[in-house]
């Protein structure tokens, strides 16, 4: 934009100078040679001044173009830095998305594992409760068997006590019968029983 403005200014100035020089030259030819020479000198001086001004404008244009080129280079460097930073930001965002997905998967797996552990614990508790019930039933049966066994043992003990009391009588009675049989064999007649 600056270049266009400077070039337009230079071209306009040159055209104005040329038109003015042609006008002066035309009037010089009409008026005479002396005034022509003075006017030609003035025109040449004006043309020289315009040429110097044109050279100064060209130098300013070159300096402006240099500044614009340097600024464009700086903008290009900054744009490259911003592009690289944006690329890194996009890569970091992608990595963050991957990490969030991995965390979500991990949370899901942990929740599944927790649910499995709770289910396993509930099943284990149910099995333990069932075993305790079976053990309680078996313990009740054992207690009943112990009670029955104790009753039988009491009954056997009572029988043994009764048998122990009856045994001497039975022995005595058996001995008497044997003695009676012996005497009977010896004597040939039964011995009267003792009273």
Does some domain include residue 59? Answer: yes
User: Is 172 domain-assigned?
Assistant: no
- Is position 148 within any domain? no
Q: How far apart are CA 186 and CA 174, in angstroms?
A: 18
Domain housing 18:
2-93
d(CA 125, CA 115) in angstroms, rounded, equals: 15
Does residue 154 lie in a domain region? Answer: no
Residue 110 belongs to some domain of the structure: no
Helix extents (H) in the chain: 2-31, 33-187
How many structural domains compose the chain?
1
Query: pLDDT value at position 21?
Result: 63
By C-alpha distance, which of 27, 46, 23, 45 is closest to 35? 27
Does residue 180 form part of some domain? no
What local confidence, expressed as pLDDT, does residue 48 receive?
Answer: 80
Enter the tokens of residue 94: 């992608």
Least Cα distance to 7 among 57, 46, 47, 67 occurs for 57
* Positions of the chain with pLDDT under 50: 28, 195
Q: Say what the pTM is.
A: 0.36
Predicted confidence at residue 43, as pLDDT, reads 73
- Residue 62 lies inside a defined structural domain of this protein: yes
The closest alpha carbon to 17, from 55, 56, 57, 44, belongs to: 44
Residue 44 included in any domain: yes
Residue 152 has what pLDDT?
Answer: 76
């Amino acid at each position: 934009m600056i270049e266009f403005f400077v070039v337009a200014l230079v071209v306009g100035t040159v055209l104005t100078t040329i038109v003015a020089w042609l006008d002066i030259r035309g009037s010089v030819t009409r008026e005479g040679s002396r005034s022509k020479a003075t006017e030609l000198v003035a025109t040449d001086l004006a043309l020289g001044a315009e040429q110097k001004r044109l050279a100064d404008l060209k130098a300013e244009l070159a300096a402006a173009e240099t500044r614009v080129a340097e600024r464009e280079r700086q903008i290009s460097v900054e744009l490259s830095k911003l592009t690289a930073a944006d690329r890194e930001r996009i890569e970091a965002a992608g990595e963050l998305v991957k990490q969030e997905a991995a965390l979500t998967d991990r949370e899901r797996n942990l929740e599944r594992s927790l649910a499995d552990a709770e289910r396993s614990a509930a099943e284990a508790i149910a099995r333990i409760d069932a075993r305790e019930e079976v053990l309680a039933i078996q313990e009740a049966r054992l207690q009943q068997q112990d009670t029955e066994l104790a009753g039988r043992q009491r009954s056997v003990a009572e029988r043994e006590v009764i048998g122990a009391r009856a045994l001497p009588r039975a022995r005595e009675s058996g001995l008497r019968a044997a003695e009676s049989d012996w005497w009977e064999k010896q004597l040939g007649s039964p011995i009267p029983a003792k009273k």
